[in-house]
Amino acid sequence: MPGAIYAEGLVKTFGDVRALDGVDLDVPEGTVLGLLGPNGAGKTTAVRCLTTLLTPDSGRATVAGIDVLKHPNEVRRSIGLSGQFAAVDEYLTGRENLQMVGQLYQMKAKEAKARAGELLDRFHLADAADRPSKTYSGGMRRRLDLAAALVVSPPVMFMDEPTTGLDPRNRQGLWEVIQELVAGGTTLLLTTQYLEEADHLAHDICVVDHGRVIARGTSDQLKARTGGERVEVVVHDRERIATASEVLRGFGKGEVAVAEHTRKLTVPVTGGAKLLAEVIRELDARGIEIDDIGLRRPTLDDVFISLTGHAAELADEGNGADTEADTELRPGHGARSQHSPAAGSRRSPGAESQRSPGAEPQRKKEADK
Amino acid sequence: MSTATDTALKAGPRPAGGIRQSVRDSLVVAKRNLIRMIRIPEVVLFGLIQPVMFVILFTYVFGGSIQVGGSISSQDYRNFLMAGIFAQTVTFATAGAGAGIADDMHKGLIDRFRSLPMARGAVLTGRTIADLAQTALTLIVLAGVALLLGWRTHENFGKILAGFGLLLLLGYAFSWIGALIGLSVRTPEAATSGGLIWLFPLTFISNAFVDSNKLPTFFRHIAEWNPFSTTVQACRELFGNLPPGFQTPDAWPMRHPVLASVIWSVVILLIFRTLAVRKYRSAAA
Ligand SMILES: Nc1ncnc2c1ncn2[C@@H]1O[C@H](COP(=O)(O)OP(=O)(O)OP(=O)(O)O)[C@@H](O)[C@H]1O
Ligand SMILES: [Mg+2]
């Protein structure tokens, strides 16, 4: 039986551009599919085809078991959509916007009103509920749009870059909302530029580029493709690089990569935290002072870059406050995805927000190569 | 969360369909557009100022020099003119409908609507109903100004209301032309100018401001078959505003203006509503 969202050979061209070039998708009921891809990959086009806004040139698709091309109106009854750009009426208040959407989902006026109130609370918009949404900040408008997508708790949801432009607290809040929805049986297709987000929320990940799916699998499977764990050391003294390199060679399972400029050495290893402790002891024994050391497993960032040949471009540069070291030194980083994502694996909000994905570490990693 | 989900589940999408849903959805969208009008009163205000300016310009600048029927009295011209100005006002509302719809397309709001299980024509019907309400308001104010300037009717109240009914019907039919234009262009600005350009020949090659009998033959024929002229003529009859010595032209619509006006408006409405709704459904914003 095909999943709650199913597509086969979707093709959509705009003039010369093949925005979708034969996309197949299959999202089992109650799971989250993360659609990743660089700008212009075709993510939004795929969402628009599946939500009846665009007619594909060829291919077929079903949502909640209903044929998208044959019965678009039945499909609309089963989906909620939050598009890439907030679609709210700026002269209506937040409350009026949600009420209108509720009524257009065929709720009674009273029900729509009650539901609007609940959603406004839930998305921390109660204070601004009765102001025209024109006066909202970008993130507030974004949240209003997401609330509009959730008005009827439809069985299938589509969210096109839902957390772009949200601050860490609201991003965390939205993740929780999404996890609750999925725990309640909702199926979600989510596009994102934040690999962190896909890692955290999605059961399965599809990487698209140039309108094609170039890789798919769980986050762990994709990471495994990119290689195993490695130890990274930043030595304090440039003179000691050679000695440190010698030490690492003894523990490593391959070549030691040395970046003279940043005094950073990297070596592939097996053996995890235990080995890391041994490396630290040995370096200490030889009197090599270190600034930083970490066990690093491939992140989705690495996967993304190795697959598409370029970094995910981040729409929201303002959030990238953390440093590379911060990410690497966190114990068990990378093991995150072993949590069953949507089953309510909740870590402390503080830890989450520190690790908000940022553009800065991304560039550094690239420069090091 | 629990309360939130409860209402949502209870309220879940119910089977929809039919005329009732169409009407309901259209009214929901109309309400939205009316709220917008109240929050952006400038638009309504400018919509009022323009026809008032026309009334003043035509009565005081051209008033004494235009001969209608056998009369050169400026009072007769004033009475004659008002139906023309009223009709012009309702047609100019077309541009507003077009710009509003183009604006929704532009802002991606149409995407939201198109992803909802709502009646197909409701977004457009809601918009045109709201515009109709605005047009009605404009007409009331304009009629008040016209009365202040000395406009007088010479028929019973029922006929006068019927005249305004025909004007609103014409305006409503034309707003669907505006809707089609709004859906066909890429920007709200283009919709505004595209919505206005064709209105100038339409309203000037007509009997709105002059006696069509006095036009050159070629233009006279166009003017007398112009749907716009038909409504103007019908209103003059219903208001008792035809000047003394006026010779009714031989063209059929001029001889049966009320019937012809209804036919024209209904035909325009049906054609352009069909085209606009079809365009809406296929539109890729
Ligand atoms: N309406 C359109 N007309 C012409 N070309 C389009 C249209 N919509 C999308 N495209 C093109 O199709 C390709 C895919 O676009 P799409 O918006 O699906 O990318 P995306 O993966 O969502 O990118 P982003 O991450 O920037 O949102 C792009 O090359 C884009 O220029
Ligand atoms: Mg996109």
Question: For B43-72, how does the pLDDT look when each residue is reduced to its tens digit (9 = 90+)?
Answer: 888 888 888 888 888 878 776 677 777 777
Query: Which pair of tokens denotes residue A338?
Result: 């072993």
- Mean pLDDT (chain A, rounded): 81
Mean pLDDT in residue range B106-114? 85
> Alpha-carbon distance A45 to A53, whole Å?
9
Which of residues A297 and A340 earns the better pLDDT score? A297
- The one-letter amino acid at B37: M
CA distance A100 to chain B (A): 7
Across chain B, what does the average pLDDT equal? Answer: 85
Cα gap B102→B182, rounded to integer Å: 5
Ligand nearest to the CA of A160: 2
pLDDT at A223: 77
> To which residue do tokens 């929201």 refer?
A316
Q: What is the pLDDT, as a whole number, of residue B17?
A: 62
| Distance from chain centroid for Cα A42 | 16
Q: A100 CB less than 6 Å from ligand 1? A: no
According to the model, what pLDDT value does residue A84 have? 85
Task: Find the range with the poorest average confidence among A14-23, B7-16, B100-109, B155-164.
Answer: B7-16
What pLDDT, on a 0 to 100 scale, did the predictor assign at position A120?
96
Name the 3-class secondary structure at A8: strand
What per-residue confidence (pLDDT) applies to A347?
36
- Count of Cβ atoms closer than 10 Å to residue B217 Cβ: 6
Determine the average pLDDT of the residues in B215-238. 92
What average pLDDT does range A99-113 have in this prediction? 94
Residue B114: its chain A contacts at CB < 8 A? 52-53
For ligand 1, atom 25, the nearest C-alpha belongs to A39
DSSP state of B14: P
Q: CB distance A154–B1 less than 8 Å? A: no
In this structure, what token pair is assigned to residue A314?
A: 């981040």
Nearest to B69 by CA among B214, B209, B203, B206: B214
Q: Is the per-residue pLDDT at A187 higher than 50? A: yes
Query: A107 to chain B, minimum CA–CA distance in Å?
Result: 6
**Please, which pLDDT band fits residue A112 given cuts at 50, 70 and 90?**
very high
Q: What's the farthest any 2 CA atoms get from each other in chain B? A: 79
Cβ-based neighbours of A272, under 8 Å, separated by 6 or more = A229, A295
B113–A104 CB contact, under 8 Å: yes
According to the model, what pLDDT value does residue B84 have? 92
Q: Which residue, B174, B240, B242, is CA-closest to B212?
A: B242
Residue A55: its chain B contacts at CB < 8 A? Answer: 282
Closest-CA residue, ligand 1 atom 13, reads A19
Mean pLDDT is highest, among A254-258, A276-280, B27-31, B278-282, for B27-31
What integer pLDDT is reported at residue A339 of this predicted model? 38
CA distance B163 to B103: 33
On whether the CB atoms of residues A325 and A295 are closer than 8 A, the answer is no
pLDDT grade, residue A319 (50/70/90)? very low
Report the pLDDT value the prediction gives residue B283, as an integer from 0 to 100. Answer: 65
Residue with CA nearest ligand 1 atom 17 = A44
- B284–A54 CB contact, under 8 Å: yes
Cβ contact B111–A52 (<8 Å): no
Chain B residues with CB inside 8 Å of A51's CB? Answer: 115
**Apex CA A221: angle with CA A165 and CA A201, to 5°?**
30
Q: Do A105 and B113 touch (CB under 8 A)?
A: no
pLDDT at B1 over 60: no
What is the pLDDT at residue B176?
A: 94
CA distance A67 to A49: 12
Our CA-based measurement puts residue A53 at a distance from the nearest CA of chain B, in whole angstroms, of 7
Q: Tell me: the pLDDT tens digits for A28-42?
A: 999 999 999 888 999
CB spacing of A92 vs B5 below 8 angstroms: no
Here the tokens at position A28 are 């089992």
Look at A92 and B24 and tell me if their CB atoms are within 8 Å.
no
For residue B194, the CA-to-ligand 1 centroid distance in Å is 28
Nearest CA to ligand 1 atom 30: A40
Nearest CA residue ID for atom 28, ligand 1: A40
Q: Are A274 and A331 contacting, i.e. CB atoms less than 8 angstroms apart? A: no
- pLDDT attached to residue B3: 37
Judged against a pLDDT cut of 90, whether residue A45 lies above it is answered with yes
- Pick A196 or B271 by higher pLDDT: B271
Work out which ligand 1 atom sits closest to the CA atom of A37: 21
Distance CA A66, CA A92 (A): 33
Q: Write out the E strands in chain A.
A: 5-14, 17-27, 32-36, 58-63, 66-67, 79-82, 156-160, 187-192, 204-209, 212-217, 230-235, 257-259, 264-268, 290-296
- Residue A309's pLDDT is 65
Closest CA to A190 of A172, A176, A209, A203: A203
CA of A36 to the centre of ligand 2 (A): 10
Interchain CB distance below 8 Å, B35 and A91: yes
Q: Interface pTM (ipTM) of the complex?
A: 0.83
Instruction: Kindly state the average pLDDT of the residues A194-207.
Output: 88
Q: What spacing in Å lies between the alpha carbon of A221 and ligand 1's midpoint?
A: 28
Compute the distance from residue A44 Cα to the ligand 1 centre, in Å: 7
- Across the interface, which of A106, A107, A122 has its CB nearest the CB of B4? A122
C-alpha distances in Å from residue A276, one per residue of A218, A233, A273: 27, 10, 5
* Degrees, nearest 5: CA angle A292-A298-A304: 125
pLDDT of res. B166: 96
pLDDT digit string (tens) for B176-201? 999 999 999 888 888 888 888 888 88
- Taking only residues 9 to 68 of chain B, the set having a beta carbon closer than 8 angstroms to any beta carbon of chain A reads 9-14, 16, 21, 24-25, 28-29, 31-32, 35-36, 39-40
Q: Is A84 in the pocket of ligand 1 (CB under 6 A)?
A: yes
Q: Is pLDDT above 90 for A316?
A: no
The Cα angle at residue A155 between residues A153 and A159, in degrees rounded to 5: 75
